[in-house]
Structure formats: C-alpha cells, structure tokens
Structure 1
Amino acid sequence: MTHHSDRGVQYRALRYTERLADEAAVASVGSRGDSYDNALAEAFNSLFKAELIRNRGPWTSINDVEIAVAEYIDWFNRRRLHGELGHVTPAEHEAAYFAAEPHPPLQKTR
C-alpha cells in the first residue's frame, strides 16, 4: 500500500511513521515545490468537499459524517461517471485495465 502526501511535518513524527510501518505502507511524497505531484489527491479533495461536505451539511454528529463518507466513496468509485476515464466509473476502468493484460498480484510486504 502507498500513502501519498505532501512533504508535511507528519513525516518527522515518530508515531506517524511507525503507523505507516505497521500497515506496511510506503510513504510517497512529491518533489519539493512541484504542485503536479499532488494534483490527483488535491482534485479528489476538492470534489469531496464540494460534492459531499458542503452540499450535504450541516452535520449533526460524527456518525452522520462517517456514514456519509462511506456512502460517498462507494458512489464515487462504483456509480459516478468520470470524464477523464471515458465516462466510466473507476471500478469499471480498473476492471478493464486488469482484464486487458496479465499483471502480477499485489503482495503486502511486512
């Protein structure tokens, strides 16, 4: 698993890096001052805020937010058509990618 972030201070925090190691997550950070490295994460965060947080609030409890986030992620990946993917869902695009040519299975390393 890869955890992508900017070059924030969290990578200097011992507990943060230990947690990444516990999950066998590889830290992926962009090059300093290069906004394109983080463009995908920023685009998703922008859509998430616009399509869910601002449009469906105000929120009355953390449980409401947790349920709404799970529903949004499911909708975003399985039902929302993405123009950048040829007007298919990310799940359909990923399935087509893996069906097109053989790929070795992903393995979790510890």
Structure 2
Amino acid sequence: MTAAITTMYEENYHVYGARKMWKELGRAGHQVARCTVERLMRAEGLKGVQRAKSPRTTRPRAETERPADLVERKFVAERPNQLWVADITYIRTYAGWVYAAFI
C-alpha cells in the first residue's frame, strides 16, 4: 500500500494530503481506512499542501478610534484634485500575499 500511496503522491505533484489520497485510492479500487493512509503517509514523510491563513487586516474594538468620514459618503468631485479617495486590498498568490493600493 505504501508504494501505491507514494506513486499517487508523485503523480499528483506532491499536493494531496491524507484525505484526498484516501479518496483517490478508493477510486483506484484500493479498500483502505483513512487512518491507515494517514499513518502510512506520516511514516513516509508525505504531507499535502496546506493553505495559508488569510491575513488579519483589522482588529475592530469599541474603544478603537475610527477615522472621520471627511466626504460624508459623497464621492463626487466638482473639479479635479478636489477629492481623493484611497483603498487597500490583499491578494493571495502562489508566492505569498500581494498588497494593492488604489487612489
């Protein structure tokens, strides 16, 4: 069973964890318990790819000071350079987190 797990692990680009590996083995006709797949993968040092946590961008609290709404939600300017609005967002990529700012 270890040979089958190792082969499937390599065929799937070293991405599958125990749960996906167990399902893939079942589709291939191998009847094996999920805990057995977990144990065998751990013994071989095989790990699936783990998703990164989302960054915690804000920590709202009642006592935290909020910036004033200087435009009172009216985002229309009568002339150029009268009103500037900015925002920032976080984008997850394979290389890590990318921060995009818009003005």
- Alignment TM class, shorter chain as reference: under 0.3
Report the TM-score when normalising by structure 1.
0.21
Relative contact order (alpha carbons < 8 A, sep ≥ 6): 1 or 2 greater? Answer: 1
Bigger Rg, which one: 2
Bigger proportion of residues as strand: 2
Report the TM-score when normalising by structure 2.
0.22
